Structure 1
Amino acid sequence: RALADLPIDGRPVSQSQGIEAIYQARKPLYEAFSDFAVDNTTPQEAAQAIVSRAQKAPL
């Protein structure tokens, strides 16, 4: 989701630091611990991209 679409109600850290700052600080961790990333598309397209990538992954 786009950062602007994320709710911050009831999330004090998001309200005090700003969602963009939190994302930028965490982004290296998200990338380091992910196996792969898919584009933010429709659920069906994202699912197909995940299945396609998983089928190519070595066992």
Structure 2
Amino acid sequence: MLGSGFGSLNAKELVSSIQQVFALAVQNKWVVPTVSFDLDHIQDAWDAPSHPRPIIII
């Protein structure tokens, strides 16, 4: 079985769910560890591990 699950919600329900997740993130002070790379170092970002999350600065 393969799929994203997007077909099980209409657009209004999907937006509402996303809003709830973001509200919980703020309420619980979720933090996503990141490491920043300048665009000039894009290859380093591609080669970096996924944790902490690599972020490209444009």
* TM-score, normalization by structure 2: 0.31
Query: Greater helix percent: which structure?
Result: 1
Work out which structure has the larger RCO, using CA pairs closer than 8 Å and 6 or more positions apart in sequence: 2
**Larger-Rg structure:** 2
- TM-score normalised by L of structure 1: 0.31
